[in-house]
Amino acid sequence: MTRSLAFAALLAGLTFALALAAGASGSAGRPPTAVGVGEREWRIALYRSHVPVGRVRLNVRNFGEDGHDLAVRNRRGKLLGALPEIEPASTGRLTVRLRRPGRYTVFCSLDGHEALGMRAVLRAKRAKRGR
């Protein structure tokens, strides 16, 4: 009987350790946070401007009359991901990992489009504990 209890305690400890290890991996097991993005001439609209740190899936729709692409860069200017040009009335999807809290720029990288106003700020913040 003591062997059965010892084995059960060992099994419970291993299960607990595996659960802790899975939780320590951050957002690896979590699905990406979805953010709707609307593009039209000289404007980008984010349907959610604040997201938790981790993977983010940008669901993009081009409502404009011209083609537009979509890119994301961090505060240092590093490009985190880019979506090729999306034709008018079409959609695209881009998943990026926001590793740190802060501001990220979502923009159209076609020549001159960002300067004409095709940019938006996406803010990442630490996820609250207990969720």
The answer to whether 97 and 23 are in contact (CB under 8 A) is: no
**Using the 8-state DSSP alphabet, how is residue 17 labeled?**
H
- CATH architecture for residues 33-125: Sandwich (2.60)
Can you give the residue ranges of every domain in the chain?
A: 1-30, 33-125
Q: Which of 38, 124, 115 is nearest to 75 (CA)?
A: 124
The answer to whether 30 and 103 are in contact (CB under 8 A) is: no
| Residue-level pLDDT, tens digit, the chain, 131 residues | 555 544 444 444 444 443 434 344 445 678 999 999 999 999 999 999 999 999 999 999 999 999 999 999 999 999 999 999 999 999 999 999 999 999 999 999 999 999 999 999 999 999 776 65
Burial class (CB in 10 A: 0-12, 13-18, 19+), 32: middle
What's the rounded Cα separation, in Å, for the pair 20 and 10? Answer: 15
pTM for this one? 0.76
